[in-house]
Amino acid sequence: MTKHDVILNELGQGLRPMSQGIVWFDALGPEEQSETLVLLRHHCVQARAVTEDGPESIRRAGLRPTHTPAVLITHGRINDQLGKIASLTPSDERRKAFRLLVAVLAIADERRRERSCSNGCGHWWHRLSAAD
């Protein structure tokens, strides 16, 4: 578990406001932003994101359907598309990708908690709290 893992999971669980997440992400250098998007993609896959999460993720992220990350998430296999989104390089696209991937993580993790972790689990990220 790294500091980045904690921040990303806090954002996905709503324990940290997205505005704070954007400020944090924008302060990272380009290489660290790319690494963070890849890590976020990994968290989405681990949370078992599905193609049907796309439209709600776009809505939660506040993106227009015509934004590149939004177009990508609605076309093709979800795991492939998450990788493409994480690989976007222009800074404005990276920020949109960040917002979208956090929304995907939130949706997939909510579902996972309901289905697999409702009676408790050993996932450290499900034991985070706003006070941490």
What pLDDT is stored for residue 2 in this prediction?
86
With a CB cutoff of 8 Å and minimum separation 6, the contacts of 32 are none
Rounded CA separation 102/37 (Å): 9
24 class by beta-carbon count within 10 Å (0-12 exposed, 13-18 middle, 19+ buried)? middle
With a CB cutoff of 8 Å and minimum separation 6, the contacts of 18 are 11, 99, 102
What pLDDT is stored for residue 27 in this prediction?
97
What pLDDT is stored for residue 118 in this prediction?
63
Rounded CA separation 105/8 (Å): 9
Q: Does some domain include residue 32?
A: yes
What pLDDT is stored for residue 132 in this prediction?
42
Q: Does some domain include residue 47?
A: yes
What pLDDT is stored for residue 124 in this prediction?
44
Q: Does some domain include residue 110?
A: yes
* Domains identified in the chain, total number: 1
Rounded CA separation 94/84 (Å): 11
Q: Does some domain include residue 122?
A: no
Q: Does some domain include residue 126?
A: no
Structural domain that includes position 98: 3-115
What pLDDT is stored for residue 33 in this prediction?
97
What pLDDT is stored for residue 5 in this prediction?
86
In contact, 34 and 107? CB cutoff 8 Å? no
Q: What is the mean pLDDT of each run of 10 residues along the chain (132 residues)?
A: 88 93 96 96 94 96 96 94 95 95 95 73 54 42
Rounded CA separation 119/132 (Å): 22
